[in-house]
Amino acid sequence: MVTPAASPATTSEDMALLRSWIASIGACPEHMPCSFIYGGTQINGIPPQWHPVSTTRTIDANLIERVHEATDTDTGLSVRVEMLVYRDFPVVEWVVWLCNSGDVVTPVLSDVQALDGHFEGVSPVLCHCNGDFYSEEGYRPEQTPLPEGSGLTLAPRGGRPCDGAFPYFRLQFRDGGMTLAVGWPGQWSASFGGDRDGVSVRAGQQLTNLCLTPGERIRTPRITLMFWNGDPMRAVNLWRRWYLTHVLPRPDGQPLQPLLALASTDTGEEFTAATEANQIEYMTRFKRQGFDYDVWWIDAGWYPCRDEEGNRRWPRTGTWEPDPERFPNGFAPISARAREDGARLLIWFEPERVTRDSWLWREHPEWLLQVAPTDAGESPNSLLNLGNPECRQWLTDHVCALIADGGIGVYRQDFNFAPLEYWRQNDAEDRQGINENLHVQGYLQYWDDLLARNPGLWIDSCSSGGRRNDLETMRRSVPLHYTDYGYGIHPIKLSFHHTLMEWIPYFKECTLSWDRLVEGDERRFDRTMDSFSFHCGMAAMLFATADIRRDDYDFDLGRRMISIWRRAAPLLLYGDYYPLTPFGRSGEKWVVRQFDRPEAGDGMVQAIRLADSPAEAFTALPRGLDPQAEYLLESAETGEQRRMPGAALLSEGLDLSLPARSGAVWFYKRV
């Protein structure tokens, strides 16, 4: 007999764990689990001789803010810890600010750790992931036991927080555990050490060894901790529920809903062939075919970007104006047409990358950070220094004008090179880490200002795929384009989903099928549309990749599958997630997953038999159902219905049979 999963809703036992941990650090600021070395002296928490002052205020029914502040009167260094304690979830988070409030340079600050604490538990195991780095090996979940005397240190590469490492962790003990996120859109580091009665954890910006000038301040990563009882799958869904409640952006005051995105352009590199005329024409064609889209997508290449030979090349960034040859009226006519269709216009930007001979290169070289040449020659890129307030303010004003004039509804920001050496090579010896810290502050402030000045705007975070999706970034955006790898390779992208759905529920998928490409096909716009493409493309946002310039699509099939996706997408986003098959990349397997809304009594089971799977049948064992209830199940494509007791579904399972390279969605409802 298979028992249903414990409820993912917050319990009194979860909240007791949170209260117990907060009590363990005490009301005293000196017990805060953060640390740094100051003038050669190790400091943990806030020293009592700095005379800390603590305040507490209620933000709303679910949030309490606690602030600890103190100043070293000898040197003028001020410390401010801003902590949020949640009342509706077992979550606490904080960020530490260090400011020079004096009139002379401070002694050196080094080894600044946002988290330096200990967590008690038996048989600790760390669940972690290797992030995204343009490889089929990306998003691989790993488990590392942490017995006494063992240790593990993790960090990304190159300064983008999800590049080769993932700043989200679950520390599992025998009967529960702790979920940890390091919110830092730069080069973080986290260390885990097993000891006699638990695990010690340290996390912060990887390199800090700097003095602060008068009035200057730095910050740590934001640390988010969630405490939970029960099994790891319960922890997954408790996190998803907290994320959807408190992290997922709310443009216009409402949480993002599932959306259909469409795009098309003529031949050429990315969107270098897009024009005002052809964009409006393709929108009209899609509507004529019955595709009611929510987002019209224009990606890289819409700005002046001709190279020395006169060819348009999208990586030639740094002149942020619509190309007057192709968009003589800017984006306003295109966004107006999108609004007529009830949709938003999405426009791609990459402001931090500046290339030679662009407007920013010519007009503001003082805003650019560069690196020394290597054996391969000079870098083609300069880094726009968002740590420079004048630079950031110009960028904010300029992009806000583009958003207002063009009617842009979704601001998409990319970041296609590693910034770490640009920061570190421009740091003075006694200022190591300062350029990164100020840039991170400027980047977050830039996004905050965009959102504040453009009500209803929302942001898509991209960085060569999913390489900058830390929790501070996710509080302001969604990662629609979570990887640059394998859009049309079904086993690979489904393995990526396995991890993403545990941590970041809102992302975009597309309907590409590269295993059916024929000569002359483009890899971005797929004319081989079939139902399998849609089954492997199920996500909170669907990018329908039909090449609307052609007439040889089965558009009727596309409309039918989009209607199934629209029915499934709210469950994919807001349901509790249960992977009913293990993580894997083999094309010889089934991929089966369940999304359940226990409060509503409904959900879905999605089953995919990959192309090379020899098994014609699979029995799915759902979780989270009510064993005392009866459920009505319906196959989305065939209409077949089954009526089954919850107890039978939990113990005997749902029998499925599919041809190779096909999928099925079974919706269910408690009756």
Position 147 scores a pLDDT of: 97
pLDDT confidence bin for 2, thresholds 50/70/90: very low
Q: What is the mean pLDDT of residues 117-137?
A: 97
At 232-248, the pLDDT tens digits run: 999 999 999 999 999 99
Range list of H helices, 269-388: 276-288, 332-340, 359-363
Identify the pLDDT of residue 521. Answer: 67
Q: Which amino acid is at 110?
A: S
Mean pLDDT of 176-182: 97
Q: Which of 83, 115, 79, 84 is nearest to 97 (CA)?
A: 79
- Per residue in 194-211, pLDDT (tens digit) is 999 999 999 999 999 999
**Residue 1 pLDDT exceeds 50:** no
The predicted-structure confidence for 388-408, as pLDDT tens digits, reads as follows: 999 999 999 999 999 999 999
Residue 188 has pLDDT above 50, yes or no: yes
In the predicted structure, residue 268 carries a pLDDT above the cut 50: yes
Query: What would the pLDDT profile of 346-367 be if each residue is shown by its tens digit?
Result: 999 999 999 999 999 999 999 9
Q: Provide the pLDDT confidence category of residue 69 given band limits of 50, 70 and 90.
A: very high
This prediction has a pTM of 0.97
Point out the least confidently predicted range of 347-356, 529-538, 584-593.
Answer: 529-538
pLDDT > 80? residue 550: no
Indicate the range of 167-181, 524-538, 641-655 predicted with least confidence: 524-538
Average pLDDT of the chain, as a whole number? 95
**pLDDT tens-digit map of 283-302:** 999 999 999 999 999 999 99
Give the C-alpha separation, 173 to 51, whole Å. Answer: 37
Q: Confidence band (pLDDT; 50, 70, 90) for 4?
A: very low
pLDDT tens track for 129-170: 999 999 999 999 999 999 999 999 999 999 999 999 999 999
CB of 211 within 8 A of CB of 109?
yes
Q: Note the pLDDT of residue 375.
A: 87
Q: DSSP label at 268?
A: S
Residues 6+ apart with CB under 8 A from 248: 255, 256, 478, 505, 506
State which amino acid sits at residue 36.
F
* Confidence at residue 516, expressed as pLDDT on a 0 to 100 scale: 84
Which residue, 523, 493, 491, is CA-closest to 508?
493
At residue 3, the pLDDT reads 38
Angle at 462 between CA 205 and CA 218, to 5 degrees: 25
pLDDT single digits (tens) 455-506:
999 999 999 999 999 999 999 999 999 999 999 999 999 999 999 999 999 9
